[in-house]
Amino acid sequence: MLNEYYGELCTQIYEKDKSIADGKELEFFLSFVTDIKMKVLEPMCGNGRMLIPFMEKGIDIEGFDISEEMLRVCKLKAQKLNLKPTVSYGKIEEFKGNKKYDLIMIPFGSFSLLPDELAKNSLANMKTILKEDGKLLLTVMTKTGTVETIPDWIETNRHYLDNNEIVEYKKVDYNQASKMLNTKLKYQLVKDGQIEKSEIMDFPIRLYESGEFENILKTNGFDEIILHEVINGYGEGSSFHVFECVI
């Protein structure tokens, strides 16, 4: 049983459901590229769902991620479009660039995967590679209402890909002290009724209270904070918020 971050099976499911950003979500992030000469960085870029559409527009964008499998998918997907993405393995709290960027963006709530100490270190690190007049855009997951916990494994989905069946399970607990929603995801590759491969992924999500993350940004030296709401950004009836800030 493999326990890893976005392994092969998990990446296949993510790619099936979230291959390429489009619609209002993509339009929103593109609107901050006001000059084609701008240098853009996407930490935690994953499978390139945002990075590749930016490349298609001729934007100078780089990305990094801690999942080798996600980066592999990103490169393959880009190759089919005759694109060569500048992506690498890297942790957001440790990334050292050799240049400064006009725009750093972390869409899709990825920043909430970081516990508090790493979030603080990551913000400090991003400050060092953001231009003085540059902007940071990021989304986080917020706590709304009561958090549902699932103490035992339940089956949540069955996916059929390339004549294979991948069964998805999850269990969830919430740590009130750390405000972490700890989700465990299990993927089983089933062929002819037999389990051929299993992966378990820990998917901890930091849920922020209203106003909490804005205070964290201020405490860590960011200013002119604007909270945008992107109505129907993930599709009809599914909106999200984005923090815009400068140093």
pLDDT 10s digits, 56-84: 999 999 999 999 999 999 999 999 999 99
* Amino acid letter for position 19: S
Looking only at the bridges linking them, the beta strands covering 180-191 and 130-138 are unpaired
- Short-list 55, 48, 38, 58, CA closest to 104: 38
What's the predicted TM-score (pTM) here?
0.92
Residue 172 maps to which CATH number? 2.20.25.110
In a shared domain, residues 116 and 188: no
In a shared domain, residues 201 and 216: no
| Contacts with 166 (C-beta within 8 Å, 6 or more apart), sequence order | 9, 12, 13, 158, 159, 160, 187, 188, 189, 190
Give the tens place of pLDDT for each residue, 201-210: 998 999 999 9
Measured CA to CA in angstroms, residue 166 lies from 84, 111, 129, 151 at distances of: 30, 27, 40, 22
Rounded mean pLDDT of 170-187? 95
Average pLDDT, the chain: 93
Q: In degrees to the nearest 10, what's the CA dihedral of 76, 46, 127, 222?
A: 140
In a shared domain, residues 79 and 132: yes
Contact 41, 63 (CB under 8 A): yes
In a shared domain, residues 70 and 192: no
Rounded mean pLDDT of 217-223? 96
What is the Cα Rg of the chain in Å? 18
* Residue carrying structure tokens 């993405």: 85
Residue 5 has pLDDT above 70, yes or no: no
**Which comes out higher in pLDDT, residue 193 or 224?**
224
Q: Write out the residue range of the structural domain in which residue 73 sits.
A: 2-143+210-246
Give the tens place of pLDDT for each residue, 118-134: 999 999 999 999 999 99
Q: d(Cα 196, Cα 185) in Å, to the nearest integer?
A: 17
Measured CA to CA in angstroms, residue 182 lies from 103, 114, 143 at distances of: 31, 12, 13
In a shared domain, residues 30 and 86: yes
Give the chain's domain count.
Answer: 2
In a shared domain, residues 133 and 175: no
Q: d(Cα 2, Cα 199) in Å, to the nearest integer?
A: 5
Residue 2 has pLDDT above 60, yes or no: no
In a shared domain, residues 89 and 22: yes
In a shared domain, residues 9 and 125: yes
Q: What is the pLDDT of residue 1?
A: 41
Rounded mean pLDDT of 147-169? 93
- pLDDT class of 19 with cuts at 50, 70, 90: confident
Q: d(Cα 51, Cα 86) in Å, to the nearest integer?
A: 10
Beta partners for residue 102, in sequence order: none
In a shared domain, residues 15 and 84: yes
Q: Note the residue count of the chain.
A: 247
